[in-house]
Amino acid sequence: MKKEWNITIANAAVHPNFQGKGLGKKLMEFAEFKAKSKGYLEMHLATHVLLTENISYYLHLGWKESGCDDTRVYMNKNI
């Protein structure tokens, strides 16, 4: 299988009524599983700089900050 370099995750969210039940983690694990199965080596995402809880959450899941600008924090994860 040909290895691709990266894939970007966009607009992942869990409805507030269902937060805190592990669904976000499962969603991200599923995205990583699918990316790996398709031969990707790295995943990318961006979140708003003011959503510090999202940034902390992604760091907890093994993502690394790769840059930022006035409105976004960019993150990546090797898979």
Q: Taking the model in full, what pTM does it have? A: 0.85
Residue 48 is which amino acid?
H
Q: Please report the pLDDT score of residue 28 as a whole number.
A: 95
Percent of the chain with pLDDT over 70: 95
Q: Please report the pLDDT score of residue 2 as a whole number.
A: 56
Give residue 8's Cα distance to chain centre.
Answer: 8
Go through the domains of the chain in sequence order and give each one's CATH number: 4-78 (3.40.630.30)
Q: Please report the pLDDT score of residue 7 as a whole number.
A: 85
Q: Is residue 3's pLDDT more than 70?
A: no
Tens digit of each residue's pLDDT (9 = 90 or more) over 6-46: 888 888 889 999 999 999 999 999 999 999 999 999 999 99
Other residues' Cβ atoms within 10 Å of the Cβ of residue 5: 9
